[in-house]
Amino acid sequence: MSLRDVDEEVYDITIVGGGPVGLFATFYSGIRNMKTKLIEALPHLGGQLSTLYPDKYIRDVPGYTKILARDFVKKLEEQAMQFNPTIRLNEKVIALRRLDEKLIELETTRGLHYSKTVLLATGMGAISMKKLGIPSVDRFEGRGVFYAVTDKWAFKGKKVMIVGGGDSAVDWALNLKDVASEVMLVHRRAGFRAQEAKISELFHSNIRVFIPYVVKDAHGTERLEVVTLTNIETGEEITLEIDSLIPQIGYEMNNSFYKSWGLDVDERGIKVNEKMETSVPGIFAAGDVASPINSIKLNLITMGLAQAIIAVNCAKNYIEPSAPMFPGYTANLRL
């Protein structure tokens, strides 16, 4: 499809987002014999796993004690491609329009697509990393200050300081401890948001933990060389020489465009019912972007994968009401 092209072929399901949930949904819709298209805004698949932490181990997907995020993406891609779905990379969906009961038009940065159903698996969507907002730190962004780690080996032999007390910060501290010459973790309070097992590993490791400290200032000539920390209880200041500062203080999500597509949203994402249906018939959502009504929301890969299965089976039933909701067991499939 060239620029501003129209693909007039109508697909059974178009999955928006090529992260783990979108990839698994692509595989699963193949199982249900649905004509499937996957549209991803980035030039590669894998979502957050590929962009934010390809070199991190994931430990909470079934069957693997631990697996590198990049390797897990490879496995998901292999699984998704079995039924020859159409994959569109580098194409961002900018509008969704329901033309009639069984036809949705998707407008992208490159053209138009048509589908009977749509599954939004856009994860955290257009996320941006929260910044520390300290001018002396910001001026070293890319020169010692990094808000995302795409290659952990870039920190080999470096003195690294990580900021934050959530899963991202603790994960990176643990992941870099055997790569960097020294890892320090700075957190503003004694309580952590990260999973308990990781916190325990943190405190049993050689990582230097500074609590309750915040970054006050950064100094250097060409690159970051020194940071000053402040103890938020006593006001005491310490100055440390470091090579790299990696603030991991959360993400910000922009959900405003979903509303303009007519979808009901709340502060957790796009509202969905027990069938993973959004407020617009034929449009489903699963994974981090979905906000299940009256239900717990856990932004975990496995939760998103299960939601993808529900959404795909319900989408199948939506376009073909005689099709059973329960697809049968894959152990009986001949691939």
Among 157, 250, 324, 328, contact with ligand NAP (rule: CB under 6 A)? 250
Report d(CA 237, CA 240) in Å as an integer.
10
Closest approach, Cβ 131 to ligand NAP, in A, equals 8
Q: CA end-to-end span of the chain, whole Å? A: 30
Taking a C-beta distance cutoff of 8 angstroms, is the pair 217, 239 a contact?
A: no
Among 7, 12, 91, 171, contact with ligand NAP (rule: CB under 6 A)? 171
Q: What is the DSSP string of 19-53?
A: SHHHHHHHHHHHHTT--EEEE-SSSSS-THHHHT-
299 binds ligand NAP (CB under 6 A): yes
275 binds ligand NAP (CB under 6 A): no
327 binds ligand NAP (CB under 6 A): no
Closest approach, Cβ 174 to ligand NAP, in A, equals 10
268 binds ligand NAP (CB under 6 A): no
212 binds ligand NAP (CB under 6 A): no
Looking only at the bridges linking them, the beta strands covering 269-272 and 290-292 are parallel
Number of neighbouring beta carbons within 10 Å of residue 274: 11
Binding-site string for ligand NAP from residue 129 to residue 168, where x marks contact by CB under 6 A and - marks none? -x-x------------------------------xxxxxx
Number of neighbouring beta carbons within 10 Å of residue 109: 12
The nearer residue to ligand NAP, 100 or 196, going by C-beta atoms, is 196
Taking a C-beta distance cutoff of 8 angstroms, is the pair 113, 95 a contact?
A: no
Cα 152 off chain centre by: 18
Q: Given the rule CB under 6 A, which of 9-17, 188-196, 270-278, 327-335 is the region that contacts ligand NAP?
A: 188-196
Q: What is the DSSP string of 216-230?
A: EEEEESSSEEEEEEE
249 binds ligand NAP (CB under 6 A): yes
231 binds ligand NAP (CB under 6 A): no
214 binds ligand NAP (CB under 6 A): yes
Looking only at the bridges linking them, the beta strands covering 269-272 and 265-266 are antiparallel
The nearer residue to ligand NAP, 202 or 314, going by C-beta atoms, is 202
49 binds ligand NAP (CB under 6 A): no
Residues found near ligand NAP in the complex (CB under 6 A): 130, 132, 163-169, 171, 188-189, 193, 214, 248-251, 299
